[in-house]
Structure 1
């Protein structure tokens, strides 16, 4: 059952990415919310790519250059800022 949930989460991630690129951010937010709720219900994690490219505050699927700014910070960090103002920092290297 968990494998089915993981496959559905991956499919919802692809749908969210396509919805943002098609100019439908509200539909993408709904896909992100569904995927997170599904992961909680089945106690499985979301993929790292999904986790890093979703906003924790507004549930937007982040696409660099479209609705998110991505910068490199000294000290080997990636800084991603959503249009809502939420900032996430991730190490790299």
Structure 2
């Protein structure tokens, strides 16, 4: 694991903790920093990080706090408070 991947993993943990404490601005900064590190080092973000961060407002998503999760006909719909929708397929 490279230094960049370790840093991204640590920022993921910090963003999750910040949302739990309802510090959404701090969470946004952690997500933006992690994305910037991933771009500079040409390594991708982990799947969990991509799925639980809003591409529009950059906040880390926590279901029940600042995101709504619903299932519909073969996919999961995650809705952020800013109105952004993300859909992921699943097989039943």
- Aligned equivalent of 1:77: 75
1:55-86 deviations in Å (ceiling 9; x for gaps): 00000100000000000011x10100000000
Return 5+ residue gaps in structure 2 as ranges: none
Return 5+ residue gaps in structure 1 as ranges: none
Normalising to structure 2: TM-score of the pair? 0.97
- Aligned equivalent of 1:38: 37
Question: What is the number of equivalent residue pairs in this alignment?
Answer: 91
**Divergent runs of 4+, >3 A:** none
Q: 1:92, CA displacement in angstroms?
A: 1.3
SS, match of residue 65 in structure 2: coil
CA distance in 1, matches of 2:78, 2:63: 8
- Aligned equivalent of 1:13: 12
RMSD after superposition: 0.8
- Aligned equivalent of 2:86: 88
